[in-house]
Structure 1
Amino acid sequence: MKMHAAVVTSFDEAPHYLPFEVPEVQEGQVVLDVLAAGLHPRVRTGATGQHYTSSGTLPMIPGIDGVGRRADGTAVYFVADDDVIGTMAEKAVVDRRRMVPLPAGADVAKVAAAMNPAMSSWVALRRRVPIQPGQSVLILGATGNAGAMAVQVARRLGAGRIVGAGRDAARLATVPADEVVALGDGPDALAAAAAEVDIVLDYLWGRPASAAMMALLTARSDRSRQLDWIQIGSVAGPTIELPSVALRSANLRLQGNGQGAVSPRAYLAELPALIEEIGTGTITVTPRAIPLADVERAWARPDVPGERIVLTPGTGFNSDEG
């Protein structure tokens, strides 16, 4: 049986809207009609073959999660099984253990847009370093969509003080943190605002992270007090230069949050609670729905702060305002 999908035929090109064979259903799997799939930065990276989980197999369908409809009409949020047959298609074959029913009337576009960017900070503060009420958090990269949502997540999970740092000065002014710092003002400005934080959620890595790490550790009034640094994204570079003294002269605990660092079972266990938060509006992002057939146009569209592109296969659901 054939379906239409966004198909990557070359890692140097955007996906094309092409016919594709519906995967065979194995034991423990079901076929879903896909309603919406988010075009996340992680999806773009996977479609170029550059994500650390990429197998390099072509052709492939991008997409790591989405919202689908079961044969009985139930809407579910689901996570893809692998990086080859993803979610940007009319149908998806999904492991029953990797989907969660949505409440009646749930905004499927909003769920598809918000789950992935919110999940990074949600899991980081629930599973990697469970935040304690009143602890302070620095969001390094707060002007990106995931970073801005991390401010909402940290607040919802009980952070007492939140510092947002980023490179986009205009967007920084809209970040709902207790204090914001422009990274262009230099490491000393960041240290003045955030030297005493308990947890850092780092979406940047690269040189900004290296400079920030040393500035914070040097300025802490008590270097023996633990600083948990959680590495989540690497938009500023895949590596950092870290002097050994940073680990010997301060109580720094550095760890990552992503596929492999957290088990699939742990991720799945967090889905229902996060879906509820998105449904009640405590964690928000604005979806921009674009028909799956227009995937090449969607791919060329730049990310807009506060928005997330969502591809929608069903003709009755599509909308693209503006």
Structure 2
Amino acid sequence: MKAAIITSFDLPPHYGDVPDPAPAGPEEMLVDVLAAGLHHLTRGRASGAHYSSIAAVPLVPGVDGVGRGADGKLRYFAQAPGQPGTMAEKTVIALDHSIELPDDSDPVTLAGAMNPAMASWLALRCRAPFRRGQKVLILGATGSSGSMAVQIARHLGASQIIAAGREESRLVQLHALGATDTVTLGDDRLGTLAREVDVVLDFVWGNSAVGAMEAVLMQRPNRSLPLTWIQIGSMAGEIAAIPGAFLRSACIQIVGSGHGAVSGREMLKELPTLAAEIARGTFRIDAKATPLRDIQRAWSQVPQTGERIVFTP
């Protein structure tokens, strides 16, 4: 079968032939892949840099997708580390890591949106005691997952959504997606705008997170007000040197959200609702269908603002 193939962690994948995968038991299923999104997680695993990467090549990249099995049902599936990649004509999925979709769902839209939407959806539904009317700060809001986080926070009922990022041109566009306030990372106004937030969705981490945390805590009028800081991504670095005084002087809880922090059972419980909202058109999604044979060119291409590349075999 045709597939994208990684032969070196330092090179983009190429289009070629690999053997068809085969299910190992009744808990697995061979599916025809209809669409597979190019996400940050996909790139991270394919480069060997992500904590869930499998340090062996050659491999087929792709962490999730939409496909159809021999039973004729349309499914969204997410691959655990070690499972076959999804950027191929066929892949093997674990049935307990998949959900059935309405047959009229658009595979390209679902494949492009589920992974970036899942990050903030699971964070707010599983990792924070989030309630309607609470206030949310999103660090790294100009990325694909960050811009989805703005829409999801609005959908879940946040009363204030502060979007912080580096690109001012992209920040301006987030007002239309639900941001009540926008500010660049490092701007002195960040602490003032976010001084009463209940939850922080942090896609940046590193020194940027330390600076933002200090700015928020310094301006916080009531430091006993609970603050849940959810570490989701590490665009500014894997290490954040958080001073102990931050933890002692405020009611702040720092948690992570990702594979491991959220159990497979919790994910499966949440994903059908999220998929239904995406299929219903609740969120603005710009998914670009790209033939899998163009993998090498598209992998290195810089997408347009908000655009999500989705490969179709």
Asked whether the two chains share a fold, i.e. TM above 0.5, the reply is: yes
Match of 1:255 in 2: 255
Match of 1:194 in 2: 194
Match of 1:93 in 2: 92
Match of 1:74 in 2: 73
**Any idea what SS the aligned residue of 1:175 has?**
helix
Match of 2:29 in 1: 30
Match of 1:316 in 2: none
Match of 1:107 in 2: 106
Instruction: Measure, in 2, the Cα distance between the counterparts of 1:91 and 1:63.
Output: 12
Instruction: Measure, in 2, the Cα distance between the counterparts of 1:165 and 1:83.
Output: 35
Post-superposition offset of 1:248: 0.6
Match of 2:293 in 1: 293
Match of 1:319 in 2: none
Instruction: Measure, in 1, the Cα distance between the counterparts of 2:80 and 2:150.
Output: 29
Instruction: Measure, in 2, the Cα distance between the counterparts of 1:267 and 1:64.
Output: 15
The number of aligned residues is: 309
User: Which amino acid in 1 is paired with 2:141?
Assistant: A
After the TM superposition, which residues 45-194 of structure 1 pair with which residues of structure 2 at under 5 Å, given as runs?
A: 45-83=44-82, 85-176=84-175, 177-184=179-186, 186=187, 188-194=188-194
The 8 Å contact of residues 39 and 63 in structure 1, kept in 2 or not, is answered as: yes
Match of 2:2 in 1: 4
User: Which amino acid in 2 is paired with 1:78?
Assistant: F
Match of 1:317 in 2: none
Post-superposition offset of 1:83: 4.1
Instruction: Measure, in 2, the Cα distance between the counterparts of 1:71 and 1:82.
Output: 24
Greater Cα offset, 276-285 or 168-177? 276-285
Give a deviation string over 1:20-70, Cα, whole Å, max 9, x none: 112221111111000000000110111110100112011111111000011
The 8 Å contact of residues 140 and 204 in structure 1, kept in 2 or not, is answered as: yes
**Any idea what SS the aligned residue of 2:208 has?**
helix
Give a deviation string over 1:151-179, Cα, whole Å, max 9, x none: 11011111111111110000000003011
Distance 1:81 1:256, change over 3 A: closer
The 8 Å contact of residues 62 and 83 in structure 1, kept in 2 or not, is answered as: no
The 8 Å contact of residues 143 and 168 in structure 1, kept in 2 or not, is answered as: yes
Match of 2:19 in 1: 21
The 8 Å contact of residues 21 and 30 in structure 2, kept in 1 or not, is answered as: no
**Any idea what SS the aligned residue of 1:162 has?**
strand
User: Which amino acid in 2 is paired with 1:10?
Assistant: S
Instruction: Measure, in 2, the Cα distance between the counterparts of 1:16 and 1:269.
Output: 36
Instruction: Measure, in 1, the Cα distance between the counterparts of 2:242 and 2:125.
Output: 27
The 8 Å contact of residues 204 and 237 in structure 1, kept in 2 or not, is answered as: yes
The 8 Å contact of residues 5 and 17 in structure 1, kept in 2 or not, is answered as: yes
User: Which amino acid in 1 is paired with 2:252?
Assistant: L
Instruction: Measure, in 2, the Cα distance between the counterparts of 1:41 and 1:82.
Output: 15
Give a deviation string over 1:188-234, Cα, whole Å, max 9, x none: 31011111100000011112111000111111001111110000011
The 8 Å contact of residues 106 and 279 in structure 1, kept in 2 or not, is answered as: yes
User: Which amino acid in 2 is paired with 1:242?
Assistant: I
User: Which amino acid in 2 is paired with 1:20?
Assistant: V
After the TM superposition, which residues 174-253 of structure 1 pair with which residues of structure 2 at under 5 Å, given as runs?
A: 174-176=173-175, 177-184=179-186, 186=187, 188-253=188-253
The 8 Å contact of residues 164 and 179 in structure 1, kept in 2 or not, is answered as: yes
CA RMSD of aligned residues (A): 1.1
Instruction: Measure, in 1, the Cα distance between the counterparts of 2:230 and 2:71.
Output: 41
**Any idea what SS the aligned residue of 2:108 has?**
helix
Distance 1:56 1:84, change over 3 A: farther
The 8 Å contact of residues 63 and 88 in structure 1, kept in 2 or not, is answered as: yes
The 8 Å contact of residues 83 and 93 in structure 2, kept in 1 or not, is answered as: no
Post-superposition offset of 1:116: 0.2
Instruction: Measure, in 2, the Cα distance between the counterparts of 1:211 and 1:25.
Output: 48
